[in-house]
Structure 1
Amino acid sequence: MSMVEKSFPVSWDQFHRDARALAWRLAGIRPEWRAIVCITRGGLVPAAVISRELGIRLIETVCIASYHEYVEQGELKVLKEISQELLEDGGEGILIVDDLTDTGKTAGVVRAMLPKAHFATVYAKPKGRPLVDTFITEVSQDTWIFFPWDLGLSFQAPIGKGSPG
């Protein structure tokens, strides 16, 4: 696997617009969803936006930790399972929400729990894209997305070489 070469910083405004765009698409797929299953932690913010836009009151979390080096995703561990009532019918009518599908490993684990659910992410990379039903923006596998909750306000170096002046 190659080292990460590109960075894609996302502002709060941009993320909010993208999450609302995702909600818009999801509203056109099904008039009413039974619940959202949010993959923590990344799915918390888009799940809040989507639940507000689509009027979904029941939000469940599935908590998965990946123990990883800088580039390779390592072992996945489920820290909190999905409630039994939502697992019924294979998750029919359930919306799974995450911020990003990267390698698809986390998505694969949750898909196995809810095979009939609809999987939606704001961003998708090529390896994870086949596991997702609906997404807004695809980025290359070697792009690192910096989400607004991971960023502070600081100077950004110019993309091209040269001085900032």
Structure 2
Amino acid sequence: MSERTPFDDGATTTTGEDREVLGWEQFGGFSRELARDIVASGWMPDLVIAVARGGLLPAGALAYALGVKAMGTLNVEFYTGVGETLPEPVVLPPLMDTSELPGHKVLVVDDVADSGKTLALVMDMIRAKGLPVDADRDGTVESSAPVDARSAVIYAKSASIIDPDYVWRHTDRWINFPWSTLPPVTEE
């Protein structure tokens, strides 16, 4: 799969706090580069799943760059603040409808594989256990659907317990993403 030079600063910058800063312009470049790597691998997804919230914008950008219109979202909570996490990641409702996924290729996208726990949870859920299937759409999970899935992230860190299939950059710095650097407006 694809990798850039480990721990390469590339087009990103750092602040006095030794942080990786991804700007909107670099964000657009990442999505095209990573999409080219995915296409070059010979594997093409039928569906892109975003790991919310951090993976929402990267997943959308990759889906556009790959020409994939089918998208889904899995909501996972792990980080509660800068460097603060729950003991383990937790999947939050609502669960996406996965009844049509068996036999399809799925690209799971997140912003960063930091500890890798969130991405590992999602990939295990999709590959090993399968995605929950509510075939009659009554709110009851009747079965699970194993799926041919690969993962893509903007950044991967050396401490990650999972090696994503597609990585744009490696870093061990805290990352400032353009969509999450400022506090919520409710705190202003």
TM-score (norm 2): 0.69
Question: Deviation per CA, 1:92-149, whole angstroms, max 9, x where unpaired?
Answer: 5110111111001101110111224111111111122633111010001xx1100011
C-alpha distance in structure 2 between counterparts of 1:69 and 1:48, whole Å: 24
Where in structure 2 are the equivalents of 1:41-120 lying within 5 Å? 41-66=53-78, 68=80, 70-74=82-86, 75-80=88-93, 81-85=95-99, 88-89=102-103, 93-115=105-127, 116-120=148-152
The answer as to 2:179 corresponding to 1:149 is yes
**Partner of residue 137 from structure 1, selected from 152, 156, 169:** 169
The answer as to 2:19 corresponding to 1:7 is yes
Q: CA deviation at 1:72?
A: 4.1
The answer as to 2:137 corresponding to 1:123 is no
Question: 1:160 corresponds to which residue?
Answer: none
C-alpha distance in structure 2 between counterparts of 1:58 and 1:126, whole Å: 31
Cα pair distance change 1:76/1:31, threshold 3 Å: closer
Structure 1 runs not aligned, ≥5 long: 153-165
Greater per-residue helix proportion: 1
Number of residue pairs matched? 144
RMSD: 2.1
Structure 2 runs not aligned, ≥5 long: 1-16, 128-147, 183-188
C-alpha distance in structure 1 between counterparts of 2:169 and 2:25, whole Å: 15
C-alpha distance in structure 2 between counterparts of 1:88 and 1:36, whole Å: 14
Runs of 4+ in 1 over 6 A off after TM superposition: none
Question: Deviation per CA, 1:60-100, whole angstroms, max 9, x where unpaired?
Answer: 000001254642421322113343235535xx511011111
Q: What percentage of residue pairs aligned between the two structures are identical?
A: 30
Residue identity in the other structure for 1:83: D
C-alpha distance in structure 1 between counterparts of 2:82 and 2:63, whole Å: 32
Deviates more, 1:128-137 or 1:118-127: 128-137
TM-score (norm 1): 0.77
